[in-house]
Amino acid sequence: MPGIRQGVCGSLEPNAGTVAGSKCVITLPNLTKAGNALAAVVWLTGQTAPITISISDDQSNANWAQAVNNNPTGNESYQAWLCTNIAAGTKVITVTPTLAMGGQIHVKIFEMWGVSTSVVSSALDGTSSGTSTTSTVSSGSITPTQSGDLLFQFGLDTGDNVTTSLTKGSGWTLAAAQLVDGICAQYQVYNSVSAITPSFTKSGPATTYVTLAMAIKAQSGAGDSTMVNGSCRYIQHHWMPDSVSSRTLQFPCTGNCIVISVSHGNNTVTLNTPTDGNSNTYTVDVHATASPFTYVAIAHADNATTSTDLANLVVAFSSAPNDALNAMIIVHDMVGMKSPALGATKTASGTQGSPGGNLTTVASFVPNSGGHSCVVLSGGIDSHTCQTLLAGTAWEWHTTDMWIPEEDGANDHLDEADPFGLVYTSDTSSQSFVFSTNAANTNGVQDWAAVAAEFLAAPSTTPAQHPIWPILVRK
């Protein structure tokens, strides 16, 4: 039976790229499993004509193909892509438009198991798309040719409005619910060949949603659903304008620990203790500042009561930053964590001037655990762009900020140019978190701050295996 193993949902960012060939680079929170599939959903706006894109990855998977698209106006493009029968170890996905974006870009990616390993044209069992100006967002009817398909629906608010809530359709499970930009993804296993119209509901300002849906054929025994204790299986990105002091979020999750990373540009404004609708208990674990423009922090909840319908997650600061920059909030769904989960922490700050180059943030970090653990890094910089978290030795390294190579030297970047990352380790060797920076910037990132926090896996002689989300079957 098919399902979702991991995912990442980005945030819309203005001025994402201004030159032809600018790329958006996304890193998954885990290495993929052989024989699974990847779905990438891309929204582009602000161009002079609908943009065509290409998608590639670090394992040179050859089956990437567009599954369905929806271009509601001449300067917008919403596309769903699929790559079947992927190689084990895929981590980095690159989206390359053919024209200058000049506006906004959003990407979300999910790894699926139990679906067809055939090429995309044969693996698909129907698609649909639509546009909605009402509270019900429907993509149009799909009639599968076989029972047991994995159905996926994606939707996005085209008006840059903050959605109040996103509610799954009957029989569906939320895979993403990002209220800040009105981004929704839901799925189900559909054991029928009757026509179905994928739909979800939203509340909030009157606006226009675009939506896509696809049915992917199931294949018995294909791929691998497993995930070891101590893993991050879903990441959701959010931005917050500097004029407000809090965001109320939804966060579909099923692990047992929620980790929140934040950064903004006012070193006098601090993170309050988060709260959520399931009454989980959070602590602010570590924070750091650099004068005058940088504040970063990490918070988490142990033994979290999680749900794909988790709502009212409030991330608030002591006041609005009012720093002329957006704050970034990145939320992690952690599976199989020890309680208490927090291990080692460390902070660092400084100033990088001319000639720029690689930025060493937290240096000589030593984990507490000799077993499996996940180290989360949150960083903030004053100027220009951090890009890739450079791999050290022994550990498994993942860059969790989404970034765009600044081919024109401009300060255009997803996640406000700040360095975010996570690393898996099973030893206590000392490691440093080093980020590459924009080569066109020879003045350095100026003031910067960073924090690292280790989260410990639950001990097990044989590490527990976890499917990412519960599977709902509609008959």
Strand-pair category, 373-381 with 313-316: unpaired
Give the residue with greater pLDDT, 173 vs 10. Answer: 173
Mean of pLDDT values over 75-86: 91
Last residue of one domain, picked from the residues 170, 195, 226: 226
As a whole number of angstroms, the distance between CA 286 and CA 379 comes to 12
- Residues 16 and 154 grouped into a single domain: yes
pLDDT digits (tens, 9 = 90+) for 187-237: 999 999 999 999 999 999 888 999 999 999 999 999 999 999 999 999 998
Cβ neighbours for 280, distance < 8 A, ≥ 6 positions apart: 258, 301, 304, 305
Residue 15 predicted with pLDDT over 80: no
Q: How many CB atoms lie within 10 A of CB 243?
A: 10
Phi, psi of 121 (to 5 degrees): -60, -30
- Residues 275 and 378 grouped into a single domain: yes
Please tell me which of 262-271, 414-423, 433-442, 462-471 the model is most confident about, judged by mean pLDDT: 262-271
- Residues 253 and 195 grouped into a single domain: no
**DSSP character for 115?**
B
Mean of pLDDT values over 3-13: 85
- Residues 52 and 197 grouped into a single domain: yes
pLDDT of residue 13: 53
Q: Is residue 465 part of a domain?
A: no
Q: How many CB atoms lie within 10 A of CB 62?
A: 13
Instruction: Give the DSSP letter string of 242-286.
Output: TT-SEEEE-----SSEEEEEEEES-TT--BPPPB-TT---EEEEE
- Residues 123 and 267 grouped into a single domain: no
pLDDT of residue 172: 98
Residue 251 predicted with pLDDT over 90: yes
Residue matched to tokens 């029968």: 85
pLDDT digits (tens, 9 = 90+) for 97-141: 776 656 677 889 999 999 999 999 999 999 999 999 999 999 999
Q: Is residue 333 part of a domain?
A: yes
pLDDT of residue 414: 43
Last residue of one domain, picked from the residues 226, 253, 279: 226
Domain total of the chain? 2
As a whole number of angstroms, the distance between CA 68 and CA 372 comes to 40
Bond into 340 cis (ω within 30): yes
Q: Which domain holds residue 249?
A: 231-457
Residue 178 predicted with pLDDT over 50: yes
- Residues 160 and 70 grouped into a single domain: yes
CA dihedral 44, 176, 143, 222 (to 10 degrees): 100
pLDDT of residue 377: 86
pLDDT of residue 401: 60
Residue matched to tokens 């997803």: 414
Indicate the pLDDT class of residue 383, thresholds 50, 70 and 90.
low
As a whole number of angstroms, the distance between CA 44 and CA 42 comes to 7
Last residue of one domain, picked from the residues 173, 205, 226: 226
- Residues 133 and 104 grouped into a single domain: yes
**DSSP character for 387?**
E
Helix (H) or strand (E) holding 234: strand 231-240
Q: Is residue 474 part of a domain?
A: no
pLDDT of residue 27: 87
- Residues 183 and 294 grouped into a single domain: no
Residue 313 predicted with pLDDT over 80: yes
Bond into 97 cis (ω within 30): no
Q: How many CB atoms lie within 10 A of CB 261?
A: 28
pLDDT of residue 19: 43
Indicate the pLDDT class of residue 461, thresholds 50, 70 and 90.
very low
pLDDT digits (tens, 9 = 90+) for 328-356: 899 999 999 999 999 999 999 999 988 88
pLDDT digits (tens, 9 = 90+) for 359-379: 899 999 999 876 789 999 888
pLDDT of residue 292: 80
- Residues 79 and 187 grouped into a single domain: yes
- Residues 372 and 262 grouped into a single domain: yes
Q: Is residue 281 part of a domain?
A: yes
- Residues 138 and 273 grouped into a single domain: no
As a whole number of angstroms, the distance between CA 365 and CA 354 comes to 26
Phi, psi of 334 (to 5 degrees): -105, 135
As a whole number of angstroms, the distance between CA 205 and CA 164 comes to 8
Indicate the pLDDT class of residue 464, thresholds 50, 70 and 90.
very low
pLDDT of residue 439: 65
What's the mean pLDDT when you consider all of the chain? Answer: 86
As a whole number of angstroms, the distance between CA 70 and CA 279 comes to 39
Indicate the pLDDT class of residue 310, thresholds 50, 70 and 90.
very high
CA 343, distance to chain mean position in Å, is 24
Q: Is the pTM of this model over 0.75?
A: yes
- Residues 108 and 60 grouped into a single domain: yes
pLDDT of residue 334: 97
Q: Is residue 57 part of a domain?
A: yes
Mean of pLDDT values over 457-470: 56
pLDDT digits (tens, 9 = 90+) for 23-61: 778 889 999 999 999 999 998 876 666 677 899 999 999
Give the residue with greater pLDDT, 470 vs 169. Answer: 169
Residue 462 predicted with pLDDT over 50: no
Residue 68 predicted with pLDDT over 50: yes
Residue 472 predicted with pLDDT over 70: no
Q: Is residue 446 part of a domain?
A: yes
